[in-house]
Structure 1
Amino acid sequence: MSQEETGQIKNETDHQTTADEPVDAESVKTAREETAEQPQPSDAALVQAQKQAQEYLEGWQRERAEFSNYRRRVEQQLKDSYQNASLDMLKSLIPIIDDFERAMTSAPEGLADQPWLNGVMLIYRKFQKLLDDQGVTALDPAGEVFDPNRHEAVGIDDTTDIQSGHVTVTLQKGYAHGERILRPAMVRVAR
C-alpha cells in the first residue's frame, strides 16, 4: 500500500464520528428525515401479505393432502387389480379340476393300477395343492343350510330325511377364496 492511500484512509476515519464525540442536533434531525422518507410498510399491506401467505400455506397443505389421498387410491387400485387378475386366473383353473375329478370317477376298476391313471391322479393332486396354497377352498355344502350367496339351487327335493331349507345333495362343488365366491356350489334343496 502506498503512502498516499494510507493517508487517504486516515483522513476518512478522522471525519467519522465516534460514540465519545458530541453529535449536533442538526445531524440527528437530518438522519430522522432521511429515515422517515424511506417507504415504510403500512399495516394494511402487512396484513394483506400475511393473509396471502396464509392462503398459500392452506393451498399447499390442501394439495399435499389431495396428493397423499391420490397416491393411496392408486396403490389400492393396483392392489385390487393384481388380486382380481389372480382370482380370475384361479377361476379359470376350476373347470380343469372338475375335468380331472370326472375322469378319475369314470375310470374303470381294472385300470386302477395303470401308471397313466396314477399320473393323472398325481396331476390332480398338484392342482389341488396349488389351489390350497392360494387360499382357494372347495364348497361341498351337503347337509348345510342353503345360502343363496354361496349356493346355486338347481332343484328341490321332497324328503323327510333332511330338514327343510337344507342342501340335500351337491351336484357340483363350489369354490371360494376367503369370503369371495369364485363359483357357487350347484345344489338341490329340501322342501
Structure 2
Amino acid sequence: MEQQAAQEDIQVEETVEEVFEEAEATPSNEENTAEELKAANEKIAVLEAKLEEESNRYLRLQADFDNSRRRARLDMETAQTYRAQSLVMDLLPNIDNLERALKIEAVDEQTQSLYTGVEMVYRGILEALKKEGVEAIEAVGNEFDPHLHQAVMQEEVEGTESNIVVEEFQKGYKLKDRVIRPAMVKVSQ
C-alpha cells in the first residue's frame, strides 16, 4: 500500500506539474479576456464601417430616387406646358397664307364676303392659339434681339438708329416663354 500511495503521490505531482506547465504555456484569463476584447472591438469596428457604408449608400440611392422623381415631374410639366408646340408649328405656314390673303383688296361685293370669311377664320385661329399661350413677336420699331428676330437684311435708313428693326418679312411667334419661330426682319445699320 505504501508503494501504491507513493505511486499515487508521484502521479499527483506529475499532474500538478502538467497543470502548471499548461498554465505557463497558455495565457492567463486576463490575457485571454484582453485578446478576446481586442478581437471583439476589431469586429465591432468592421461592422460599424460596413453599417456606415450601407447607410451612405442608402442615402445616395434615396437622393438619386428623389432627383429622378423631380426630373420626371419637371419633364411632365414641360411637356404639358408646350404640348401645343407641334400643332402650332404645323399651323404657322397656314396663318402666313391667311395673312397674305388678307392683304389683297376686295373690289366687289363677292370678294368682300370672301375676304370677311377668311378674316373670321384667321381671327378664330389666332384666338385659339392665344388661349394656348401663343403670341406674335413684336418686331418693327423695336431693337433687334437675336433671340426673337432673324435678320435677313441690313439697310441704312436715315432718321433711324442703328440695330432697329425697320421691316418684318415673316411674323415670329412665341409659345409661352419659348420662341417657336423667330421673326424674319430687316435691320437698320
TM bucket (normalised to shorter chain) is 0.5 to 0.7
Corresponding residue for 2:152?
154
After superposition, residues 112-191 of structure 1 pair within 5 angstroms as 113-114=112-113, 116-191=114-189
Q: Tell me, which stretches of 5 or more residues in structure 1 are unaligned?
A: 1-35
Q: Percent identity?
A: 28
Corresponding residue for 1:89?
87
Give the paired residue count: 153
Cα distance in 1 between the residues matched to 2:188 and 2:45: 80
Query: What is the CA-CA distance between 1:128 and the residue it aligns to?
Result: 0.6
Alpha carbons 1:171, 1:186 under 8 Å: kept: yes
Alpha carbons 2:155, 2:187 under 8 Å: kept: yes
The two structures have a TM-score, normalised by structure 1, of 0.67
CA offsets per residue over residues 52-82 of structure 1, 9 Å max, x none?
Answer: 2222222212211112112222333344445
Pick which of 42-51 and 55-64 moved more.
42-51
Amino acid at match of 1:145: E
Runs of 4+ displaced beyond 4 Å: 81-85
Greater helix proportion: 2
Alpha carbons 2:82, 2:175 under 8 Å: kept: no
Over the aligned positions, Cα root-mean-square deviation in angstroms equals: 2.7
CA offsets per residue over residues 22-65 of structure 1, 9 Å max, x none?
Answer: xxxxxxxxxxxxxx9xx999333333333322222222122111
Corresponding residue for 1:57?
55
CA offsets per residue over residues 105-160 of structure 1, 9 Å max, x none?
Answer: 2252324642x443322221111111211221112311111222211222233321
Query: What is the CA-CA distance between 1:176 and the residue it aligns to?
Result: 1.5
Alpha carbons 1:157, 1:189 under 8 Å: kept: yes
Cα distance in 2 between the residues matched to 1:50 and 1:81: 46
Q: Tell me, which stretches of 5 or more residues in structure 2 are unaligned?
A: 1-32
Cα distance in 2 between the residues matched to 1:188 and 1:70: 45
Alpha carbons 1:143, 1:162 under 8 Å: kept: no
Partner SS state of residue 152, structure 1: strand
Cα distance in 2 between the residues matched to 1:160 and 1:117: 37
